Structures are given as C-alpha cells and as structure tokens.
Amino acid sequence: MTFDRSIKIAPSILAADFANFGAECAAVEAQGADWVHVDVMDGHFVPNITFGPAMCAAIRPHIKGVMDVHLMISPVDPYIEDFAKAGADVITAHVEAGPHIHRTLQAIRASGAKAGVALNPGTPAEAVAHLLDLTDLICVMTVNPGFGGQKFIDMSDKIRTLRAMIGDRPVHIEIDGGVDPKTAPIVAQAGADVLVAGSAVFKGGSVSDPAPYGANIREIRAAAEGVYA
Ligand SMILES: O=C(CO)[C@@H](O)[C@H](O)COP(=O)(O)O
C-alpha cells in the first residue's frame, strides 16, 4: 500500500446488504471505490454490535484494493493479530479505547498492517500530537461512533489543526460519519484525503443494480476534489 494524498472514497459496508457482503464489496470497488471501510463494533465501546475477524477474512477475497478496518472495540490489543491475519491493510483503533495507545499502534505496525488512530468528536487534536510518528492514518469522527446515517458534526478546525501538526509526514486524514456531496467539500477543504461514506454511497443501489453506487461515489469525489486543500 503506497502513500498518496489524493482524495480517496471509502464506502462503509455498514450501509451494505448484510446478507451479501462479498458481492457488495466487489460492486463498490467495480463502481470506483478506492478503499473498502469495515466497521467493527463490540456493543461495549459503542452501543452497537457488527462483526469480527472471521467476517473480515470472508470478504477479503472479494476486495482487490485496500481493506480499511475501523475497530470500535475495547480492549483492542488482544484482537490485532486476528484482524491482521484476516487481511486488513489498515487497522484503526480509538485513542479513547484504552490506556496504552502507543503499544496498540506499535502492535498494529508489528502485525504488518498500517496503523490508524481514531478520535471521537469530543476528543481534541492534541490527543494524538505525541503519536504522529507511530501512525499512518488519523480518523476524525464526524459523528459519535456506533451507527450509520447520523448527522454530520463539523470538525473542520480539528482537521486543519491535524494537517498542520502532520506537516510532511506520510499520514492520511480520514473522515468518518455523515459524509455526502454537501459535507465532502467541508472536510476536503480542511485537508482530509480519505472520505468514508456509508449511506451516501449505498443509497439507491444494490448488487443487481450497482450503477447508483458509481454515481454516488463520483458525486462525492467531484465535490471533494473541487476544493481539496
Ligand atoms: O463508523 C461509523 C459509524 O460509527 C461510520 O463508518 C458510519 O458507518 C458511516 O456511515 P454514514 O454516516 O456515512 O452513513
């Protein structure tokens, strides 16, 4: 996985057909998705339960590109190896999920995956200031994690602060929650390069009629690229 700062659209399969994940991943990729975003929730760190490493391993053969695994779980460390073995290219843990985020990020890199750190809306940018050389991606949550389809919370100031803190380091800024053609320009202008979008990508389409996925992805990308800082 090579680093570049172009806009990348990462559909969240939380909004896909749960009975058809493999085909949904292949369909969004064929329709222009850059990454596939997988939301792992434990009913403890967040008030919802989704899926685990076995599901990630099952969909891996259906994804040609980057499988981006967002762990909304606590604890994280006991499960890192399982998600790496399942084929995750990026594993992101929340800074709020445990007391030893340095150890977590080191363990993710040691597993062979890229290491991401996520920030809830209530957590300031400064919480990751000491982690910039240990991380490959900072995920700025623009909803409180747990569910798709929530209203976007504007985190532009945080994104700008992070972009300045990151400087020339090869660190992605990913935005997650409420991204659509209206909000994509807000986060892109502030300096985000990876845009996770669930409902806004999957709306109107299905594996038997995937063209709307492509139209939705193109619309979000065009809105973001038009203003990308
Ligand atoms: O991690 C999360 C929610 O916790 C997100 O990945 C959502 O799944 C994004 O969904 P939309 O807000 O785009 O519908």
pLDDT of residue 228: 87
Tokens of 77: 């460390």
Q: In testing the pocket of ligand 1, which one of 35, 44, 150, 213 has its CB within 8 Å of the most ligand atoms?
A: 150
Question: Is 2 a member of any domain?
Answer: no
Question: Is 85 a member of any domain?
Answer: yes
* Percent of all residues in the chain with a pLDDT value above 70, rounded to a whole number: 100
Quote the ligand 1 centre to 146 CA distance (angstroms). Answer: 8
- Residue ranges for the known binding site for substrate are 12, 70, 146-149, 176-178, 198-199
Cα–Cα distance between 95 and 119 in angstroms, integer?
6
pLDDT of 229 over the 80 cut: no
- Structurally, the chain folds into a number of domains equal to 1
pTM over 0.90: yes
pLDDT of residue 194: 98
pLDDT of 15 over the 80 cut: yes
Question: Is 110 a member of any domain?
Answer: yes
* Whether residue 199 has its Cβ less than 6 Å from ligand 1: yes
For ligand 1, atom 8: residue with the closest CA: 148
Question: Is 183 a member of any domain?
Answer: yes
190, 159 contact by CB (below 8 A): yes
With bands split at pLDDT 50, 70 and 90, how would you rate the model's confidence at 10?
A: very high
Query: Rounded to 5 degrees, what are φ and ψ at 67?
Result: -100, 115
Cα–Cα distance between 198 and 183 in angstroms, integer?
13
Question: Is 114 a member of any domain?
Answer: yes
Torsion angle of C-alpha atoms 16, 36, 169, 111, degrees rounded to 10: 110
pLDDT of residue 224: 98
Question: Is 160 a member of any domain?
Answer: yes
Give me the CATH number covering residue 158.
3.20.20.70
pLDDT digits (tens, 9 = 90+) for 28-39: 999 999 999 999
pLDDT of 169 over the 80 cut: yes
75, 44 contact by CB (below 8 A): no
Question: Is 182 a member of any domain?
Answer: yes
pLDDT digits (tens, 9 = 90+) for 110-158: 999 999 999 999 999 999 999 999 999 999 999 999 999 999 999 999 9
Q: What ipTM does this complex have?
A: 0.97
93, 108 contact by CB (below 8 A): yes
The average confidence (pLDDT) of the chain is: 98
Domain encompassing residue 148: 8-170+178-225
Token look-up 């209206």 returns 182
Three-state secondary-structure class, residue 10: strand
pLDDT of 178 over the 80 cut: yes
Catalytic site residues?
39, 176
The secondary structure of 42-101, three-state, reads: ECCCCCCECCCHHHHHHHHHHCCCEEEEEEECCCCHHHHHHHHHCCCCEEEEEHHHCCCH
219, 201 contact by CB (below 8 A): no
104, 78 contact by CB (below 8 A): no
Quote the ligand 1 centre to 177 CA distance (angstroms). Answer: 4
